[in-house]
Amino acid sequence: MSDLEVEQAELLATYVVVSEESLTVSLSDGRTLVLPLAWYPRLKHGTPAERNNWRLIGDGDGIYWPDLDEDLSVEGFLAGRKSMESPSSLKKWLADRSATDRKKRRKTA
């Protein structure tokens, strides 16, 4: 294992802030990553409340957004990887999300 692999393996997310334009991840070594929200379509399509409902997984190896069914890894952030979700999968997720939102609105009306 290279020094870089060991260093990345030890890095953990400690805190997350999601704005309208970016995903900011604080790391255990004191660094902060700022990534474009456009790289993560589920986060981009989420409401502020959904984007702010996150939890660390694997002691900080990754981050999970239960309302958006999205999980992302620190390893992916460091590698500069965008979402790997296919356009067809995103389209289905958006359609399912829209149908669920309509049902919720009918129940409260």
Question: pTM (2 decimals)?
Answer: 0.82
Domain boundaries, the chain: 3-83
pLDDT at 10: 84
pLDDT at 6: 43
Consecutive sets of 10 residues in the chain, 109 residues long: mean pLDDT of each? 55 97 97 97 96 96 97 96 94 89 67
pLDDT at 99: 83
Torsion, Cα of 38, 55, 11, 27 (10° steps): 70
Q: Choose the CATH number for 3-83 among 3.40.50.720, 1.10.3720.10, 3.40.50.2000, 3.30.2020.40.
A: 3.30.2020.40
Q: CA-CA distance, 55 to 24, in Å (whole number)?
A: 14
Q: CA-CA distance, 61 to 58, in Å (whole number)?
A: 5
Q: CA-CA distance, 101 to 47, in Å (whole number)?
A: 12
pLDDT tens digits for range 42-62: 999 999 999 999 999 999 999
